[in-house]
Amino acid sequence: MTAYTFLSEGRTSLFTGVVWPPPGEWLAGREVRATTVDHLVPWIDDELWVCELSEPVSVGAEGEILTAERARLGERIVAWDEAAADDLTAACVARACTHAVDAVRRNGSSEAEALSLLGASEFASAATAVASRLPEGQREVVLFAADVVALSRGRRPEEYETPPDPRGAPTSASITANVAYVTAHVAGTVHPGGYDAGVAAERAWQLAWLRERLGIAEPST
Q: What residues make contact with other proteins under the rule CB under 8 A?
A: 14-15, 17, 42-45, 60, 65, 154, 156, 168, 170, 174-175, 177-178, 180-181
Between 15 and 221, name the residue whose CB sits nearer to other proteins.
15
* 113 touches 168 (CB < 8 A): no
Between 50 and 65, name the residue whose CB sits nearer to other proteins.
65
C-alpha of 34 from chain center = 17
* Minimum distance of other proteins from residue 133's CB (angstroms): 30
What is the rounded CA–CA span in Å between residue 139 and residue 133? 8
Between 170 and 219, name the residue whose CB sits nearer to other proteins.
170
* Minimum distance of other proteins from residue 174's CB (angstroms): 5
Closest CA to 170 of 45, 29, 41, 16: 45
* Minimum distance of other proteins from residue 24's CB (angstroms): 27
Region of 24 (left: φ > 0; alpha: ψ -120 to 50; beta: rest) is: left
Between 118 and 200, name the residue whose CB sits nearer to other proteins.
200
* Minimum distance of other proteins from residue 10's CB (angstroms): 12
* Minimum distance of other proteins from residue 126's CB (angstroms): 25
What is the rounded CA–CA span in Å between residue 142 and residue 98? 10
What is the rounded CA–CA span in Å between residue 2 and residue 73? 10
Between 45 and 202, name the residue whose CB sits nearer to other proteins.
45
Closest CA to 95 of 167, 187, 200: 187
